[in-house]
Amino acid sequence: MQVSKKLCLCIFLALAVPFSLTGCGKKKPADDGAAAAAAAGSKQEAATGETPGANEPLTNAGPGANGQGTFAEGRTSGPMLPVYFEYDSSKVEGDQVSRIEHNGDFLKENKGKKIRIEGNCDERGTREYNLALGERRANAAKKYLIHLGVEAGRLSTVSWGEEKPLVFGQDEQSWAQNRRDDFVFAE
């Protein structure tokens, strides 16, 4: 009887140790910088108890060529502003209307500027669904700008889906900041 217990224990350890070392598969980060930022955020959260980025503005106040910040918010080229969306929506509404109108005014005053509207999503949903939603968001902003009088030939769109998060986190605040259109100067 004693031999069978030892045999069972050996078999259990032989099977359990390899499984405990492999862990679960995870989604590969978009790039090494994103992985480093996520790792740094995890260390910050563990050390301070705070979610990284929770109290940080999404602005770069550094001077640009015109004395303004090179980025207004997130990845949007200043002085334009990103437009944020509700969960699972591509409708520009609420206080986001004034943001897209601000961008339209800037583009009408700067007729030589071309922009790329980049649709982004939070990480919830499948990759394919988020790419489609990001495309709907970018196209909604493009249509709105055309309605405001910006020439269609100056506007291009791309959907990044969930691939380029601005904030790494598993909470509503992080997800809300990742549901956006960025307006980036194009060549």
Q: Which of 127, 128, 138, 121 is nearest to 87 (CA)?
A: 121
* Residue 51 pLDDT level (bands cut at 50, 70, 90): very low
- What are the two backbone dihedrals, phi and then psi, of residue 47, each rounded to the nearest 5 degrees? -75, -40
CATH number for region 66-187: 3.30.1330.60
Residue 169's pLDDT is 87
Residue 26's pLDDT is 34
d(CA 99, CA 95): 7
Q: Which tens digit of pLDDT belongs to each residue from 85-138?
A: 999 999 999 999 999 999 999 999 999 999 999 999 999 999 999 999 999 999
CA distances from 171 to 5, 124, 176 (A): 47, 11, 9
- Record the pTM: 0.62
d(CA 53, CA 174): 8
Domains in the chain: boundaries: 66-187
Q: Are 132 and 82 contacting, i.e. CB atoms less than 8 angstroms apart? A: no
